[in-house]
Structure 1
Amino acid sequence: MNRYQIVETAFGFGAVAFSTEPFKLVATSLPTSDLDALCRPFDEVCWRIDSNHPTAFKIGAAMVRYFNGESIEIPWPVMDLSRFTPSQQAVYRAVANIPYGHTASYGQVARLAGLPRAARFVGTTMANNPYPVFIPCHRVIKSDGSPGGFGGGEPLKARMLALEGAL
């Protein structure tokens, strides 16, 4: 059964989406001030709110800590990367290794992932990142140092990088 939990962070409302039995983290949603817009995609596919699941609560608490300016651990054991190609998995793991407060260009991530000519592929993979914050796609920037795209919008990306001291 698919469920989600709303998380109130210093940057707005986010969500932790998960399946139960066994628990798997399906996605996380970046914070927004628009609670209706946050919930709408889950409601449209009839997911239930579950504010009491202990593992989802721990993941949500990590998101709160992140948006309070703390470095957090990635919940690898509950993230299901098997739905992605080996190349996408390599990109997600490379991005997850960008330290808090640092950035890497799309080309650098491609090289780290063992895909040296695949900077555009990195961008496409990041655009479909289901685990923002935990797979910190906001740390991936253009080679000229400009922010590049971001699912939460460039202002949020800039805020997150500033929070980490990466600007």
Structure 2
Amino acid sequence: MSHYRIVNTAFGYAVAAFEPDPFRLLEIRLPQADLKAASQPFDEQLWQIDREHSQATIVAQDLIGYFNGKAIDIPWQWMDLSRFTPSQQAVYQAVAGIPYGETASYGQVAKMAGLPRAARFVGTTMANNPYPVLIPCHRVIRSDGSAGLFGGGEALKIRMLAMEAAGRK
């Protein structure tokens, strides 16, 4: 049975969904203001809420730290990227390489991933990112400097980028 952990962050309620044994992150849900809305998809699937799992606690602490303005290390050991194509994995690795407080355009990420003509592919891959914040898709912007689309909404993306920019000063 899959588990999830609700994380109360400075930006709202985030969720870390995982398999407990062996521990494997399934997805991260971006913060929402409404606790019920954050947990509803997992409750509907009859997933078990878990406040005790030690690795989930580490992820929860990282999420809290991030939304308080701290850079975090990506817990690759707990993320299963094997479900993605090699090209998608290359995009996720490239995005993970964008430093805290910086951004890159979809086209720049495509080049970094070795796919120089695949900016739209980068956008599609980011739209399906199961690990936002950990794989920082919010740092990928349009070539004109505008925010672009984001699963948590444009306002959240802009707020996250502003928080990171302020933390770099």
TM-score with structure 2 setting the length: 0.97
Q: Provide the residue aligned with 2:17 in structure 1.
A: 17
Q: After the TM superposition, which residues 126-141 of structure 1 pair with which residues of structure 2 at under 5 Å, given as runs?
A: 126-141=126-141
- Partners of 1:119 and 1:43 lie apart in 2 by 36
Cα distance, 1:40 vs structure 2: 1.1
Cα distance, 1:150 vs structure 2: 0.2
Q: Provide the residue aligned with 2:70 in structure 1.
A: 70
- Partners of 1:46 and 1:96 lie apart in 2 by 32
- Partners of 1:35 and 1:83 lie apart in 2 by 29
- Percent identity (aligned): 66
Which residue identity lines up with residue 14 of structure 1 in the other structure? A
SS in 1 for 2:69: coil
- Partners of 1:160 and 1:99 lie apart in 2 by 14
CA contact (8 A) 2:20 2:53 kept: no
- Partners of 1:44 and 1:91 lie apart in 2 by 31
Instruction: State the superposition RMSD in angstroms.
Output: 0.8
Which residue identity lines up with residue 148 of structure 2 in the other structure? G
Q: Provide the residue aligned with 2:58 in structure 1.
A: 58
CA contact (8 A) 2:147 2:157 kept: yes
Deviates more, 1:141-150 or 1:40-49: 40-49
Q: Provide the residue aligned with 1:147 in structure 2.
A: 147
Which residue identity lines up with residue 135 of structure 1 in the other structure? I
- Partners of 1:34 and 1:107 lie apart in 2 by 35
- Partners of 1:12 and 1:116 lie apart in 2 by 36
Cα distance, 1:37 vs structure 2: 1.2
The number of equivalent residue pairs is 166
- Partners of 1:37 and 1:82 lie apart in 2 by 29
Q: Provide the residue aligned with 2:4 in structure 1.
A: 4
- Partners of 1:9 and 1:117 lie apart in 2 by 37
Cα distance, 1:148 vs structure 2: 0.2
CA contact (8 A) 2:66 2:72 kept: yes
Task: Name stretches of at least 5 consecutive residues in structure 1 with no aligned partner.
Answer: none
- Partners of 1:73 and 1:145 lie apart in 2 by 26
Runs of 4+ in 1 over 4 A off after TM superposition: none
SS in 1 for 2:18: strand
SS in 2 for 1:120: helix
Cα distance, 1:124 vs structure 2: 0.5
Task: Name stretches of at least 5 consecutive residues in structure 2 with no aligned partner.
Answer: none
Does residue 31 of the first structure (1) align with residue 37 of the second (2)? Answer: no
Q: Provide the residue aligned with 2:97 in structure 1.
A: 97
Q: Provide the residue aligned with 1:44 in structure 2.
A: 44
